[in-house]
Amino acid sequence: MDYGKFKYESAVKARESRKNQTQTIVKEIKLRPKIDPHDYGTKKGHVERFLKAGDKVKVTIMFRGREQSRPELGFRLLQRLASDVEELGFVESQPKQDGRNMIMVIGPHRKKSETKAHTAGQGQNRPVPSPRAAAAAPRAAASEPAADGAAVSGPA
């Protein structure tokens, strides 16, 4: 067997295996125990967007001053967030106090590769024209004179 051919085939196999791998990305959202309802809704929207994209979300609640004596407020807030995004993800690590912060990790139900395949499948309903083909079409029509001598009009 040719050594060059062997090296080439092993390089192709390695490239294919790398193509199928997915990077695990952990996004972080920081909250405070006394968060306004509208701000909570905004942060929840960010968490939903990250989970739909197939990323893990690390939710951190920062306690300051007297808030440190009431960790149950942060725990309740994390439980509420977990129940709000339950259809998109699951709690990977339960809330735990880490110094002044309380941390919880939420993982998506679907893997990132499945999510990409799902979103790619939705976009196949309508064809997307190539920019090169669109740019070449008007020039070709303009450069060809009409056979009967009449002016050629572009797309209306």
Q: What is the DSSP string of 78-126?
A: HHHHHHHTTTTEEEEEEEEEETTEEEEEEEESS-HHHHHHHHHHHGGGS
Decide: helix, strand or coil at residue 57: strand
Decide: helix, strand or coil at residue 141: helix
- What pLDDT score does 46 carry? 94
- What pLDDT score does 148 carry? 57
Instruction: Give CA–CA dist 30/114, Å, rounded.
Output: 28
Is residue 41 one of the residues assigned to a domain? yes
The total domain count for the chain is 1
Query: Locate tokens 């951190």: which residue?
Result: 60
Please tell me the pTM assigned to this model.
Answer: 0.60
pLDDT in tens, the chain (156 residues): 689 999 999 999 988 888 887 777 889 999 999 999 999 999 999 999 999 988 899 999 999 999 989 999 999 999 999 999 999 889 988 999 988 999 999 999 876 556 555 655 655 555 556 666 556 555 555 555 555 555 555 565
Helix H or strand E segment including 155: none
Where residue 70 sits, what CATH number does that domain have?
Answer: 3.30.110.10
Is residue 138 one of the residues assigned to a domain? no
Is residue 57 one of the residues assigned to a domain? yes
Is residue 10 one of the residues assigned to a domain? no
- What pLDDT score does 47 carry? 93
Whether 98 and 37 have beta carbons less than 8 Å apart is answered as no
